[in-house]
Amino acid sequence: MIKFHKITKTYPPDIVALNDVSFGIGKGEFAVLTGRSGAGKTTLFKLLLGQETPDEGQVIFDGQDIASLNISALAAVRRRIGVVFQDYKLLNNKTISENMAYVLEAIGCGQGQICEDVPEVLDLVGLAKRADSFPEELSGGEAQRAAIARAFVHRPDVILADEPTGNLDPYHTRDIIKLLLKINEMGATIILASHDKEVVNGLGKRVITLEQGRVLRDEANGKFVL
Amino acid sequence: MTLMLSLVVSLFLFQHGFNVLVQRAQDKMDISVYFKSEAGEEDILKAKDEVASIAQVERVDYVSKADALNSFTQTHKDDRKLMASLTELGFNPLLASLSIRAKEASEYGQIALSLEKSSFNDKIEKIDYTQRKPLIDKVFSTASTLNRIILAVSIILAAIAASLIFNQIRLSLYHLKKEIEVMNLVGAPHWFIKGPFMAQGAIIGLFGVIITSLFFFALCFFLSPHLAFFLPGLDLFDYFVHNFLIIFAVQLLVGVGLAVASSWLAVKKYLA
């Protein structure tokens, strides 16, 4: 479903973020990207979202070369990908349910579907009672669950989670990982970027280890080894 | 926004005031053709008809010897020496003339040329165009230069105002940068993201237009009588009212157009 093919990306003046990176991720898979800070995990996400273009190589999503897409085709791809950030990136002037409704409105869903889907996903992430709260009124764990709810509300094919547990305590970290596993069981492909050893080792999923912009290891039932 | 629109309306009104001023200066200009003393009134009236048929001529007035003397006496009645000399002379030394007014100040040269080639050229004593030419040329060139200056100033001020508005809108959207980026990342179509900001820009522009229009309505109403005192013939309020639709449309085009375009550009910057 997703294929990174011989990707090289350099930032000025000569910082090599990715160097000849190739791997693929299948539909419904749960893959963990791990590596030190600056290893290239976030750059891979940016390439997949079309926020950056590779200097060399191709990022293929469902048969489409991301770099060659026009604005509307890229927006359509983004609608098939939900993104969870370490700093949540929720819209602060909207309530949690409005944050979620916004995504559904953006993809053209009617009010009926919005009223049906938002409470359902809020229930899934355990935030049904916080639907009318603003992001600033939530704890870190709640805000991250809200971010996952927003990323998943339109049932995307893929969820990109960029260090979603980076700001959370172990209790909330387990919560978030359980939630991602649950969403994966529902059929979504999950790519989790994390340098949390406990998280990576506890999952027992495919682990792609990046170091200095290269794929160091790619193991089906991988461990955190650096 | 209101400041920028005020600038636009001010330039519009100033242009009108300036045109009235130039028109008045041009109205006071004419050239006179003096006929030899032996030329009869019948010849001069024929010449008048010929002059009136010149395309550039707006009006021709015949001034007889008697009218000229009468006018001269009225003007110099307090100058005793001059009056005594005239009486001593014993006859009317002034010449009959045609006073010619052109449609445009720039056309006096062409009229003077036509007069020199006319059938009654042999009856002409002198044409005072050469004497007045420097003044006529000066009025014409001043009007033309001032028009160019107004245009240049308008363009410069409009560019400054446009850049101010753009920066103001860009700054007001800066704190929404993160939100715009998030909207973009969740796959919202660009029109869906830009639409509300452009609508907001249009509303701000519209309010600016309404406030500016009300302000200038009041300003022209109160200022018009005072300006008419200094420049008779200039009724700024009447001009504002009669041209309100055009002034409003220009403001809409500038205000709303600029605000919408600025919002569009400012949001576009954050859409990677």
Question: Which phi and psi (to 5°) does residue A83 adopt?
Answer: -120, 135
Cβ proximity of B205 and B260 under 8 Å: yes
Average pLDDT value for residue range A172-182: 89
In the sheet where B57-63 sits, what is the strand order? B57-63, B97-102, B31-35, B124-127
Average pLDDT value for residue range B207-225: 90
Contact B187 A91 (CB under 8 A): no
Q: Does A92 touch chain B (CB under 8 A)?
A: yes
Contact B187 A81 (CB under 8 A): yes
The answer on pLDDT for B24 being more than 80 is no
Give contacts of B190 with chain A, Cβ < 8 Å. Answer: 71-72, 75
Tell me which of B114 and A131 has the higher pLDDT.
Answer: A131
Per-residue pLDDT band at B115 (split at 50, 70, 90): confident
In the sheet where A15-25 sits, what is the strand order? A15-25, A2-11, A56-61, A64-65
* Residue B132 pLDDT: 64
Which of A71, A72, A103 is closest, CB to CB, to B186? A103
Average pLDDT value for residue range B234-246: 89
* Residue B133 pLDDT: 67
Where are the extended beta strands (E) located within B128-235? none
Q: Distance between CA B166 and CA B264 in Å, rounded?
A: 10
Distance from the first to the final alpha carbon of chain B: 29
Q: What ipTM did this prediction achieve?
A: 0.77
> Nearest residue of A to residue B194 by CA position?
A106
Contact A71 B190 (CB under 8 A): yes
Where are the extended beta strands (E) located within B109-236? 124-127
Cβ proximity of A20 and A210 under 8 Å: no
* Residue B80 pLDDT: 85
Q: Distance between CA B185 and CA B178 in Å, rounded?
A: 10
B53-83: b or e for each residue (b if 16 or more CB lie within 10 Å)?
Answer: ebeebeebeebebeebeeebeeeeeeeeeee
Q: Distance between CA A204 and CA A150 in Å, rounded?
A: 26
Cβ proximity of A68 and A148 under 8 Å: no
pTM for the model stands at 0.65
* Residue B81 pLDDT: 85
* Residue B136 pLDDT: 66
Among the ranges given (A6-15, B23-32, B204-213, B259-268), the one the predictor scored with the smallest mean pLDDT: B23-32
Per-residue pLDDT band at B218 (split at 50, 70, 90): very high
The answer on pLDDT for B140 being more than 80 is no
The answer on pLDDT for A106 being more than 90 is no
Q: Distance between CA A29 and CA A35 in Å, rounded?
A: 19
Contact B272 A51 (CB under 8 A): yes
Contact A106 B272 (CB under 8 A): no
Average pLDDT over chain B reads 84
Cβ proximity of B208 and B255 under 8 Å: yes
Cβ proximity of B9 and B212 under 8 Å: yes
* Residue B131 pLDDT: 60
Contact A102 B185 (CB under 8 A): no
Q: Determine the distance from the C-alpha atom of residue A158 to the mean position of all C-alpha atoms in its chain, rounded to a whole number.
A: 7
* Residue A7 pLDDT: 95
Query: Which tokens hold the place of A20?
Result: 């000849």
Query: Which tokens hold the place of A70?
Result: 């026009």
Q: How many helices (H) and strands (E) in chain A? A: 7, 10
pLDDT digits over A23-37, tens only? Answer: 999 999 999 999 988
With CA atoms as reference, report the closest residue to B246 among B218, B213, B211, B215: B213
Average pLDDT value for residue range A86-115: 89
Strand, helix or coil for residue A118: helix
> Nearest residue of B to residue A80 by CA position?
B187
* Residue B19 pLDDT: 79
Average pLDDT over chain A reads 91
Share of chain A above pLDDT 70, in %: 100
List the single best residue of B176, B178, B186 to mutate versus A (max A Cβ within 10 A).
B186
Contact B187 A89 (CB under 8 A): no
Q: Which residues contact A191 (CB under 8 A, 6 or more apart)?
A: A2, A25, A31, A32, A33, A45, A158, A159, A160, A161
The answer on pLDDT for B149 being more than 90 is no
Q: Which of A62-71, B53-62, B145-154, B162-171 has the highest mean pLDDT?
A: A62-71
Q: Does A81 touch chain B (CB under 8 A)?
A: yes
